[in-house]
Structure 1
């Protein structure tokens, strides 16, 4: 049974995330302590106690989600003897790509936390609040072609592109607010529902170029090794293991499209994956996996009990 480990992106955070893992496993507590020290802040306390508005800030949510994912991976190995190399592939949604790299030993958790803190801050700096927007286009008629047509209509008044091709029925657009508003109207006319997203910046669009430049400078000096398991990258939807290629793709990812549907389709068809396991906080990717590859098994590992059950199933 070919296995792929999936790592969630922003939006999966919640107050209390990782608390059960920390209470149950010393190995998980070590990860949270390592991240706290790297950032010089008590992120683990914010994760456990909130307040939610502080946890939701991009610069906090990104390293927090990574920490929970890595804590789960480390607990799997330390407590149940399950190594990440049991998987054939890893993939992460947007910031989850960093979690995947930390989980596979390509980047240390400390370095990953610092990179994600900077990534969140750089994304926020790139576009003044209120000037950018994102919207989710949903419904049975929603596909990439519809979303691209809507984004094209929006681009007549400003920057507007497809940011996340999540799955059939769920595509996200991003750009300047006026352009996204125009695209929303176009999408509705084409038969989709459109929901403006409560985000602090227009991620994965050309407006993020200043953030990409900041990340390029930071990643240039970051220690990146070959991951123990190939990473199916967001911007190529293909497996990558070369450190320099990964370094380049992490920069490109800031402004580029998250090709999640294509990544999952590649894993199921070309990669032969029959079991998708989401590691960390929430179950967003599990739901997407079931829609994209319904013939495969999909499950999420959020709790100590779920980790134990998964280990026993191998």
Structure 2
């Protein structure tokens, strides 16, 4: 029996030490695809993705760089998308932040190679400019119950800091029960000083991350548009859900508008991943939510997004866990104990 699924592509921060070797472990039969990516990297004088993935040692300084992480994450996500079992019908595709580029290729709006061209170009530009930074902070507790008042309080504090002279701070990603904030050093430091520590790790700075999805990235967006033409973009083969919750439908997409969004709004305005997941749930009512690798950390944000929407009565974390334990419907391909549920 065919099951339906929404495929979700992860963003930056998902290829870490445990993921080293991911391409070789899971996709040895797709080396031709990766070699086509290597050729594009060689044109830019960059190290091959297969060499990076096959290295003996993982170092944060190297693998957190935008010009390295983006290429590896895209390669892993796209290969995972191609490995989904034949008895699973992918009815829509979305992604988080950089995962939007992967989603475009997984959904057929970009060829695998053009998708790599886009992600590698943008990842390299982000690294070359490295404007500002990002941090993560939760607004819900361990039970995942929605606390909209706390969220509003935090966003009000962000606006207050941003209004101060010499400070820039804004919402970067609405990520389930987390807020990803972005800004300059003064803005980020002011927020860290204003909030209590949570769970021994928040507020948490993200290494080698720029102020993604804010106006600070306008120079990167402009350079990206100059380097990447709208002719790369075609009609999607599957519905695509962007970082506003907008659906781009096959045979009905304005490809110029898709290019404009991808290298404009998507780069310089907040990315609402929560809304993208909730739109996927409400509009497509899939049997499964499949999170492509690498890594599995995005699964938590997907689950939280569903709980925040009270999807199918999921009011809190225990309700989600009970449903998931009875019949897994959220599958992270980056988890060895779940991978086979998606690949057959």
Fold match by TM threshold 0.5:
yes
CA 1:266 to 1:172, structure 2 compared with 1: closer, same or farther past 3 Å?
same
After superposition, the CA RMSD in angstroms is 2.7
**SS at the partner of 2:108?**
coil
**SS at the partner of 1:10?**
coil
**SS at the partner of 1:265?**
helix
Contact 1:15 1:47 in 2 (8 A): no
Measured after TM superposition, the shift of residue 193 of structure 1 is: 5.1
Measured after TM superposition, the shift of residue 311 of structure 1 is: 4.1
Measured after TM superposition, the shift of residue 124 of structure 1 is: 2.7
- TM-score, normalisation: structure 1: 0.85
Q: Indicate yes or no: 2:170 matched with 1:161.
A: yes
CA 1:148 to 1:51, structure 2 compared with 1: closer, same or farther past 3 Å?
same
Return 5+ residue gaps in structure 1 as ranges: none
Tell me the residue number matched to 1:263.
276
**SS at the partner of 1:273?**
coil
Measured after TM superposition, the shift of residue 5 of structure 1 is: 0.2
Tell me the residue number matched to 1:116.
119
Q: 1:4 aligns with which of 3, 6, 26?
A: 6
Q: 1:102 aligns with which of 75, 100, 105?
A: 105
Measured after TM superposition, the shift of residue 222 of structure 1 is: 4.4
CA 1:75 to 1:18, structure 2 compared with 1: closer, same or farther past 3 Å?
farther
Q: Once the two structures are superposed, what CA deviation does each residue of 1:159-183 show, in whole Å capped at 9, x if it has no partner? A: 2110011012x10111111122223
**SS at the partner of 2:53?**
helix
Measured after TM superposition, the shift of residue 284 of structure 1 is: 1.7
**SS at the partner of 1:114?**
helix
Q: Once the two structures are superposed, what CA deviation does each residue of 1:171-208 show, in whole Å capped at 9, x if it has no partner? A: 0111111122223334449xx95233323422221111
Tell me the residue number matched to 1:217.
226
Contact 1:31 1:70 in 2 (8 A): no
Measured after TM superposition, the shift of residue 308 of structure 1 is: 4.2
CA 1:288 to 1:200, structure 2 compared with 1: closer, same or farther past 3 Å?
closer
Q: Once the two structures are superposed, what CA deviation does each residue of 1:101-140 show, in whole Å capped at 9, x if it has no partner? A: 1122221222222222221222233355xxx232212242
**SS at the partner of 2:83?**
helix
Q: Once the two structures are superposed, what CA deviation does each residue of 1:31-82 show, in whole Å capped at 9, x if it has no partner? A: 2212111211322111231443322211111111010111122334xxx546
Return 5+ residue gaps in structure 2 as ranges: 141-146, 308-313, 315-322, 324-328
- Distance in 2 between the 1:28 and 1:306 partners? 21
- Distance in 2 between the 1:121 and 1:6 partners? 23
Contact 1:152 1:183 in 2 (8 A): no
Contact 2:292 2:334 in 1 (8 A): yes
Measured after TM superposition, the shift of residue 253 of structure 1 is: 0.9
Could you tell which deviates more after superposition, 255-264 or 289-298?
289-298
**SS at the partner of 1:172?**
strand
